[in-house]
Amino acid sequence: MILDNKNIAILGLGISGYWAAKLASSRGANVLVSDSKTNINDLYTEELKNMGVNIELGNHSSKILDSDLIVKSPGVPNNIKIIEDALEKDIKVIGEIEFAYQLSDIKIIAVTGTNGKTTVVTALHGVLNQGLNVLKGGNIGTPFSQLVLENSLSQNHNYDYVVLEISSFQAEDIISFKPNIAIILNLSEDHLDIHDTYDSYKNAKLNLFKNMDKEDFAIYNLDDKNLNQSFEDIAKKTNVMTFSYGQNQDIQYKNLNHVAVAKVASLLDINEESIFNFLKDFKGLEHRFEIFKQENNITFINDSKSTNGLSIESALSNCIDLKINSIVLILGGKSKGIDYSSYIDSSSIDIKIVAYGEAAVEIKNKLPEYGVDVIKDFTEAVHHAIKISEESSFNGVLLSPGCSSFDQFNNFEHRGNIFKDIVEEYYS
C-alpha cells in the first residue's frame, strides 16, 4: 500500500486510531483524525498535531469524504452516516487491523474467542519466545499499527511471528488479513448490544478465517458445540486442527487455555517440556479470576474481565475446583443483553447474587429464582456482598460481572482495581 501524499481519514481517536494515524503519517500520508467525542486523551491530540495531523472532535465532518482511504478504529459502528456516505462515494473503508496488515510483512498467529484471548496470547508469547523471536499485540492493548511502526515490520526485520488478539469488532472488518495460524478458543453470546444477534457475533468472529488456505492452520475447540458445524466449510480450504480438554491425553495442562497454547506451540516445534515448564509457572493475569485476598475464611476473587455469560460460567467452575462451595456473586454494569440463567443454573455452588449498575434491575428480572439484591452503587454493592458472606457463612465473594464496565468505570481494569481497593479498605 502506497500512502505518500494520499488523504487518509482515521475514525476514532482511541489508542488504535492514534497509532494508525502515526503509521499513516510516517508513510507520507495527509492524515485527518475524526472522533465524535470530545473527551480525548490530550497527549494523543497534542502529539498528532505536532506531526501535522489534522484533528476534529465532536463530530464527523464532510472533510472525511475528501479522503482516498478511511481507517476505522475497532468498535466504530459500520452503520454510522459518515461511513454510509463514504461507501456511496466509493471511498474504501478498512479497519485498523487490516490497515496495519497491508503495511506489514510478518507471519501472524491470531487468537480469537469469547473468553481467554488475552491469557492465551500472553502465555503463547512467553512460550514461543523460548525458541523464537515473537511480538504480541492487537486487542490485548498494543495495536498492530504500533507494532508495525515501532518494529519496522514492513521491511527487513528479525521477528518470526506476531501473536495478535483479535476481537469480533476487528475480525468483522477483515478484507485481506490472512493469519498463518488462527485459533478460536470458544464461542458464546457476547456484545449483543452491538452485534444485535448471536449469529451476527459468530459470523464476525469466523470472518478471521476467511482468507486462510492450505498453507495455513485453523484451530478450534472441539469441546465447543457452537464451533463444530461452523468449521466444516473452513476445512474445505485450509488445514483444520482441533484441541480439547475433555479428550486431551496430556493431563498435565491444568485448563483449556493451557491446552490451546500447547497446541499452537507444538505446531511450531517448541519442545513439549519447555511448554509444560512455562505453563506450570504461569500465574495468569490481573482481573481474570484473580484471588487477591482471604479474610475470615472468605476468598475474594476479582474477575472484572468477565463481560459475558461464558466467563461467569467459567468462574463458577473454577470455584468448584477450588472447593469454594458457596459464593456471593456480584453481577452488573452496562448490559450486553445476555441470558444469565443459562450460565448460572448449571452450577452446583450455593449462590447469592448482588446486582449493581445499569443492568441491576434487568439481572433481577432475568433471575427471579435467586432473589437478587439490587444495589446500584458499586461500593455499596461490594459492602453488601461482604456483609452477606460474613453473616451467612458464604466462603467466597466473586466479582464476575457479566457486563461491560462503562456505566461507572473507565474499563474493566478500573473496575477490578476499585473492587480490590474497597475490599482492602473494608478490612483495614
pLDDT at 192 (0 to 100): 52
Is the pLDDT score of 227 beyond 90?
no
Q: Which of 282, 332, 319, 2 is nearest to 125 (CA)?
A: 282
pLDDT tens profile 64-91: 999 999 999 997 988 899 999 999 999 9
pLDDT tens profile 102-153: 999 999 999 999 888 999 999 999 999 999 999 999 998 899 999 999 999 9
Contact 45, 22 (CB under 8 A): no
Q: Which of 359, 350, 365, 352 is nearest to 401 (CA)?
A: 359
Tell me the C-alpha distance between 159 and 135, whole Å. 7
Q: Which helix (DSSP H) or strand (DSSP E) does residue 182 occupy? A: strand 181-184
Residue 128 has phi, psi (to 5 degrees) of -65, -30
pLDDT tens profile 389-428: 999 989 999 999 999 999 999 999 999 999 999 999 999 8
* Secondary structure tally for the chain: helices H, strands E: 18, 17
pLDDT at 4 (0 to 100): 95
Residue at a domain's end among 73, 96, 119: 96
Q: Between β-strands 181-184 and 217-221, what pairing exists: parallel, antiparallel or unpaired?
A: parallel
pLDDT at 41 (0 to 100): 87
Tell me the C-alpha distance between 31 and 5, whole Å. 9
Same-domain check for residues 244 and 300 = no
Tell me the C-alpha distance between 118 and 243, whole Å. 18
- Give strand pairing partners of 301: 291, 398
Least confidently predicted of 164-178, 224-238, 242-256, 300-314: 242-256
pLDDT at 247 (0 to 100): 60
Same-domain check for residues 250 and 388 = no
Which CATH number fits the domain that encloses residue 46? 3.40.50.720
Which CATH number fits the domain that encloses residue 310? 3.90.190.20
Q: Which helix (DSSP H) or strand (DSSP E) does residue 374 occupy? A: strand 373-374
Alpha helices in 322-406 (DSSP H): 341-344, 360-366, 378-392
**Single-letter residue type at 201:** Y
Examine residue 2 and state whether it is found in any structural domain, yes or no: no
Examine residue 254 and state whether it is found in any structural domain, yes or no: yes
Least confidently predicted of 10-19, 252-261, 409-418: 252-261
Contact 71, 50 (CB under 8 A): no
pLDDT at 322 (0 to 100): 85
For 409, the grid coordinates are: 468505570
Same-domain check for residues 241 and 322 = no
pLDDT tens profile 173-201: 999 999 999 999 998 765 555 656 888 88
pLDDT at 193 (0 to 100): 56
Q: What is this structure's pTM?
A: 0.81
Examine residue 259 and state whether it is found in any structural domain, yes or no: yes
Contact 164, 110 (CB under 8 A): yes
Band (pLDDT 50/70/90 cuts) for residue 251 is low
pLDDT at 393 (0 to 100): 87
Same-domain check for residues 170 and 197 = yes
Same-domain check for residues 324 and 420 = yes
pLDDT at 379 (0 to 100): 97
Examine residue 379 and state whether it is found in any structural domain, yes or no: yes
**Single-letter residue type at 337:** G
Cβ-based neighbours of 277, under 8 Å, separated by 6 or more: none
Q: Which helix (DSSP H) or strand (DSSP E) does residue 66 occupy? A: none
Residue 254 or residue 145, greater confidence: 145
Give me the chain's average pLDDT, please. Answer: 92
The rounded percent of the chain whose pLDDT value lies above 90 is 77
Same-domain check for residues 262 and 114 = yes
Tell me the C-alpha distance between 404 and 334, whole Å. 5
- Report, as an integer, the average pLDDT of 342-365: 92
Examine residue 126 and state whether it is found in any structural domain, yes or no: yes
Q: Which of 333, 298, 290, 331 is nearest to 313 (CA)?
A: 331
Q: Which of 188, 180, 236, 229 is nearest to 208 (CA)?
A: 180
Same-domain check for residues 229 and 308 = no
| Structural domains in the chain (count) | 3
Band (pLDDT 50/70/90 cuts) for residue 281 is confident
Contact 381, 356 (CB under 8 A): yes
pLDDT tens profile 317-341: 889 888 899 999 999 999 988 888 8
Examine residue 1 and state whether it is found in any structural domain, yes or no: no
- Name the residue range of residue 56's domain: 7-96
